[in-house]
A and B are shown apart, each in its own frame.
Chain A
Amino acid sequence: MSGATPATTTTAGASDAVGESRRQLTRDGLAIAAYALPVGLVFGLTALQAHYSFLDVLANSTIALAGGAQFAAAGLVKDGASWLAIAGVVALINARHLLYSAAIAPYATAQSRRERAVMAHFLTDETFALALAHFRRIGRFERRGYWIAAMAIFVPWTIGSCLGYVVGGAVDTTRLGLDIAFPAAMAGLSLGMVSGRRDAAAALGAVVVAVPVGLAAGASLGLVAGALLGPCFGLAVPPSPHEESSAPETPEPSSEAGLP
């Protein structure tokens, strides 16, 4: 009896720690959800301007589930870009998820391949940020925690996108200035990803390349050229002190922006 008490206490303590971490995760998740919903509205409006149908919007937000890339794709669709160009830009924007997946992988080794395959679909910036913080707090993987993190962005983003599309159809978007929402959101999102001089150089370099190439060869080619060559400008400048210590475990997700 006396021998069982410490073990029981330890188990209870661990359970409390998981519960406390999960409550923290839920609070953080609600903050992200509150932000993802209105940004989803902006995407819905953007998609409307690019002549998506409601089902196209729903499919984009649930199947692609890639906020910044969804905005990019909508802009390219509007410009009449080829799907190959769209796929290339989307792949480039979302390549950072390699780093997120690599950081989550050590925690998920005990999960089945099927479960990891499903988890990967929902591995957005926010899911990564929320789940990794939770796993670090409790020192292990926790299934319920991962899905709380995933749904904190998936549900409001999808609802917001659909609402934005429906509401946007009822208003004059140009008169209300809503046509500027897309480039403004892109610029803001880009800034949200800048955490050092290399990021800043990459973003500015992309603009410096994209505009003249766009003028000479069309907006879509300008975009692709800027996206491909911009990072080279970043690689050419010395990193900020915190960028030097950047490791796969510490990528900086754009969770502040409220996008998947």
Chain B
Amino acid sequence: MSIALVPLAFLMWGVTYPSRALPMLAPGIERLPSWAVTYLRLAGPAALAALAAVNCLLTSDKPPRLLIGIEPVAVGVCVLVVARTRLLLPGVAAAVLVVAVTRAMGVAA
């Protein structure tokens, strides 16, 4: 069994652990300028939104092209469901259902 990505897990730990540990182990380090605190808080939603966008709006070709298909619609459905329920799982389930049904009907590739 491959363990090729186990070192990546350690690398991810290496860049995550300092954020989790430094304020607890070195008090005072959290006294960042307010704009920096705000930037850190905004980085989460920004990074995840960018990730969703490149994965549902761009093809996997090199170079990528704009994706026209059921995928952006399904992600939009997920966003609507999550906005309404504040729960991730029903949103993901709805998106999967939209894609599965349209593919089964031959409407989507």
Name A residues whose Cβ lies closer than 8 Å to a Cβ of B. Answer: 35, 38-39, 42, 52-56, 59-60, 63-66, 68-73, 75, 77, 79, 83, 86-102, 104-105, 108-109, 113, 116-117, 119-121, 123, 174-194, 198-200, 202-207, 209-211, 214-216, 218-219, 222-223, 225-227, 229-235, 239, 246, 248, 251, 254, 256-259
Contacts and interface: CB of A to CB of B under 8 A. Distances in A.
Contacts of B1: 53-55
Given A96-B43, A215-B63, A226-B50, 6 more contacts: A63-B12, A180-B96, A183-B52, A184-B78, A191-B45, A209-B50
B5 A105 contact: no
A55 B3 contact: yes
12 contacts: A39-B88, A60-B8, A94-B15, A105-B27, A180-B96, A180-B98, A188-B79, A190-B46, A207-B49, A226-B53, A231-B46, A234-B42
A117 B49 contact: no
B48 A186 contact: yes
B12 A206 contact: no
A86 B99 contact: no
Q: Which 4 A-B pairs have the closest CB atoms?
A: A230-B46, A226-B50, A177-B99, A102-B30
A194 B89 contact: no
B24 A101 contact: yes
Nearest to A79: B60
Given A180-B71, A180-B74, A69 B12 contact: yes
Contacts of A101: 19-24, 30
Interface residues of B, number: 78
A72 B51 contact: yes
Contacts of B38: 198, 231, 234-235, 239, 246
B97 interface: yes
Interface string B18-48: 0111111101001010010111111111111
Given A64-B12, A188-B78, A210-B54, A102 B95 contact: no
A214 B63 CA distance: 9
A180 B19 contact: no
A206 B11 contact: no
Contacts of B46: 190, 202-203, 205-206, 226-227, 229-231, 233-234
A56 B83 CA distance: 32
B52 A187 contact: yes
Contact of B23 (A52, A98, A181): A98
A113 B17 CA distance: 15
Interface string B67-109: 0000100110011011100111101100111111101100000
A101 B3 CA distance: 31
A20 B51 CA distance: 41
Contacts of B27: 105, 109
A219 B42 contact: no
Nearest to B38: A235
Contacts of A226: 46-47, 49-50, 53-54
